[in-house]
C-alpha cells in the first residue's frame, strides 16, 4: 500500500473507503484502550477513582480542542497543496505546522497543570473525588506535548492520504498503554496518577514513531530538520482555516463542561454512570471520525486540483456512509447498554443512569454523524466559519441555556441526556440547508484564477527550501 494517496483520480468510493478503513480500525484501538483504561481504574481502584477519571473527559477536551482544530486547518491546507501539486508551499506548511504544534504542546502543559484545580472547582466537582481528579489531570497534562504532537504528525500524514502508518503507531501505543496501566497501578501502586502516566508514556512512543516516519519517508512531504521554522505567512493561512474549528471545539468543550457540572450536581453515582456511558459512546464516534477525516482530505485534494464535480460526488458518498454506519452502531449500543455499562461499575444506581443515557442518545447518532460529516466537507472546502457559527449557536448557546432553564425545574439528570439529541437535530437542519443551498465548492479559490489566493507565499517567503 502506498504511503500517500492522491484522491484526485480513480474510483471515488474506493479512495474514501480505503482511506477511512485504517482510521476506523485505529479509532477502534484508541477506544479500546480508553475503555481498558477506565475498566482497569474502575475495577482495581474503585468507584471514586472511576468517577474522578471518567468525569474529566470534557475538561481534557476543553484544553486540547483549540489546538486540535488548528491542526485540522493545517491538514486542510496541506491536502489542498498536495492535490494541486504545489510542493514548495506544501513543505512550508508541513514544517510550520510541526513548529507550531511543539509550541502549543508546551503552552498546554503549563496552562493545564496550573488551571486544573481552579476549573474543577468551577465544575462543582464533589469534594470526595476532587483530590483524585486533580491528581489524574495534572499528571495527564504533564504529557500534553506528546498529545498535541501526535495529532500534528498524524494530521500531516492523513492530509497526503496516508492513514496506514498512523494506524500502526496507534495500535502499538494502545497495547502499550494497557500494559503500562496494569504495571503502574498494580506493581508501582501509583493509583490514578499511574493511569495518566501510562497514557502519556504510550503517547510519546507514538510521537517518536511518527517523527521517525516523517524524517525518513522519501515522498515530497518528508520533514527536514534544517527546514523547521515558522513561516508567519503560512501560519496565518493555517490559522485562517484552522482557528474557526479550534474556537468551535473550545467553546463547545466549555458547553460540555457546563453539562458535566450539571451531572456533578447529582453526585458520584451520576458521574460514574455518565462517565461509563461516555466510554461506550466513544464507539459511536468511530465511523464519524474515520469518515470525517476522509471527507476533509478528499474534498481538500480535489478542490485543490479543480475537480469540483468529483468533490461533490465524493461528499455525497461519504455523508451517506457516515450517517448509516453511525446509526447501526447506535442501535447496537442501545440493545447492549445494560451489559456494557455493568462492565465499568457494579453500583445499581450508576448502571441505571448510564443505561438511561444510552437509551436517550444512541438512536440519534445519525444526527450527530450528519452534523460532523457536513462540517468536515465544509472545512475541506475552506468554509470552516459556517460549521463554527452553527455549532456555537446550537451546541453551546442553546445547549447551555436549555440546561440552565430546565435542570432547576425538573431536578432530574435525564435533562443532561436529552440536551444532546435536541441540539444535534438543530445543527443538522441548519448545516443541511447550507450544504444544499449555498456554493461551498469555491471556498479556497480566488475569483480570477481559480487557484488558492495566497500571494504572500510566492515572493521569496519559502527561503531554505531548495
User: Does the global pTM surpass 0.85?
Assistant: no
Q: Which residue has the cell 481559480?
A: 450
The separation between CA 450 and the C-alpha centre of its own chain, rounded to angstroms, equals: 31
Each residue's pLDDT tens digit in the chain (466 positions)?
A: 455 667 888 889 998 998 888 888 887 877 776 777 777 887 888 878 877 777 677 677 777 888 888 888 899 899 989 988 899 999 999 999 999 999 999 999 999 999 888 888 887 788 888 999 899 999 999 999 998 999 999 999 998 989 889 989 988 998 898 899 999 999 999 999 999 999 899 999 999 999 999 999 988 999 999 999 999 999 999 998 888 888 888 888 788 888 888 898 898 889 888 988 988 888 888 889 889 989 999 998 999 888 999 999 999 999 999 999 999 999 999 999 999 999 888 889 999 999 999 999 999 999 999 999 999 999 999 898 999 999 999 999 999 999 999 999 999 999 999 999 999 999 999 999 999 999 898 755 543 333 344 433 333 333 333 3
Distance CA 319, CA 321 (A): 6
- pLDDT for 452 equals 45
- Please, are residues 5 and 19 in contact by the beta-carbon 8 Å criterion? yes
Distance CA 359, CA 266 (A): 19
- pLDDT for 3 equals 56
- pLDDT for 129 equals 86
Q: Identify the bridge partners of residue 445 per DSSP, sorted by sequence position.
A: 452
411 in helix, strand or coil?
coil
445 in helix, strand or coil?
strand
Per-residue b or e along 20-40, where b marks 16 or more CB atoms closer than 10 Å to that residue's CB: bebbbbbbbbbbbbbbbbbbb
**Nearest one of 72, 148, 80, 73 to 110, comparing CA atoms:** 148
- pLDDT for 329 equals 93
How is the chain split into domains, by residue range? 12-457
- Please, are residues 125 and 56 in contact by the beta-carbon 8 Å criterion? no
- pLDDT for 4 equals 61
- 3 state SS for 163-213: CHHHHHHHHHHHHHHHHHHHHHHHHCCCHHHHHHHHHHHHHHHHHHHHHHH
Per-residue b or e along 267-302, where b marks 16 or more CB atoms closer than 10 Å to that residue's CB: bbbbbbbbbbbbbbbbbbbbbbbbbbbbbbbbbbbb
- pLDDT for 444 equals 56
Amino acid at each position: 500500500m502506498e504511503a500517500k494517496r492522491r484522491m484526485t483520480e480513480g474510483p471515488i468510493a474506493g479512495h474514501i473507503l480505503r482511506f477511512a478503513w485504517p482510521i476506523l480500525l485505529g479509532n477502534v484501538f484508541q477506544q479500546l484502550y480508553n475503555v481498558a483504561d477506565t475498566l482497569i481504574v474502575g475495577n482495581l481502584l474503585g468507584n471514586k477513582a472511576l468517577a474522578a477519571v471518567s468525569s474529566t473527559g470534557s475538561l481534557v477536551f476543553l484544553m486540547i480542542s483549540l489546538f486540535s482544530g488548528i491542526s485540522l486547518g493545517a491538514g486542510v491546507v496541506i491536502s489542498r497543496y498536495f492535490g494541486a501539486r504545489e510542493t514548495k508551499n506544501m513543505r512550508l506548511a508541513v514544517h510550520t505546522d510541526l513548529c507550531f504544534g511543539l509550541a502549543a504542546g508546551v503552552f498546554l502543559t503549563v496552562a493545564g497543570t496550573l488551571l486544573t484545580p481552579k476549573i474543577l472547582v468551577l465544575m462543582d466537582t464533589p469534594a470526595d473525588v476532587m483530590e483524585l481528579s486533580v491528581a489524574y489531570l495534572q499528571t495527564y497534562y504533564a504529557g500534553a506535548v506528546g498529545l498535541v504532537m501526535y495529532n500534528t504528525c498524524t494530521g500531516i500524514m492523513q492530509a497526503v492520504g496516508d492513514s496506514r502508518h498512523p494506524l500502526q503507531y496507534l495500535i502499538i501505543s494502545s497495547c502499550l498503554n494497557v500494559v503500562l496501566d496494569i504495571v503502574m497501578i498494580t506493581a508501582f501502586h501509583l493509583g490514578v496518577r499511574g493511569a495518566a502516566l501510562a497514557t502519556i508514556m504510550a503517547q510519546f512512543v507514538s510521537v517518536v514513531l511518527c517523527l521517525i516516519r516523517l524524517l525518513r519517508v522519501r515522498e515530497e512531504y518528508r520533514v527536514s530538520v534544517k527546514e523547521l521554522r515558522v513561516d508567519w505567512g503560512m501560519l496565518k493561512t493555517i490559522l485562517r482555516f484552522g482557528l474557526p474549528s479550534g474556537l468551535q471545539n473550545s467553546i463547545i468543550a466549555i458547553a460540555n463542561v457546563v453539562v458535566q457540572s450539571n451531572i456533578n450536581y447529582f453526585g458520584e453515582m451520576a458521574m460514574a454512570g455518565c462517565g461509563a456511558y461516555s466510554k461506550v459512546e466513544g464507539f459511536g464516534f468511530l465511523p464519524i471520525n474515520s469518515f470525517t477525516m476522509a471527507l476533509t482530505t478528499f474534498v481538500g485534494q480535489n478542490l485543490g486540483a479543480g475537480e469540483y464535480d468529483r468533490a461533490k460526488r465524493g461528499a455525497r458518498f461519504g455523508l451517506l456512509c457516515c450517517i448509516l454506519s453511525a446509526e447501526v452502531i447506535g442501535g447496537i449500543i442501545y440493545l447492549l447498554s445494560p451489559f456494557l455499562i455493568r462492565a465499568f461499575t457494579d453500583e445499581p444506581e450508576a448502571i441505571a443512569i448510564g443505561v438511561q443515557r444510552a437509551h436517550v442518545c444512541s438512536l440519534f447518532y445519525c444526527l450527530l454523524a450528519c452534523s460532523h460529516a457536513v462540517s468536515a466537507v465544509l472545512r475541506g472546502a475552506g468554509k470552516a466559519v459556517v460549521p463554527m457559527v452553527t455549532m456555537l449557536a446550537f451546541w453551546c448557546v442553546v445547549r447551555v441555556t436549555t440546561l440552565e432553564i430546565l435542570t432547576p425545574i425538573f431536578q432530574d439528570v435525564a435533562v443532561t441526556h436529552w440536551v444532546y439529541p435536541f441540539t444535534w437535530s438543530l445543527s443538522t437542519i441548519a448545516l443541511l440547508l447550507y450544504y444544499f443551498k449555498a456554493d461551498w465548492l469555491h471556498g479556497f479559490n480566488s475569483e480570477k484564477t481559480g487557484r488558492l489566493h495566497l500571494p504572500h507565499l510566492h515572493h521569496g517567503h519559502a527561503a531554505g527550501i531548495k
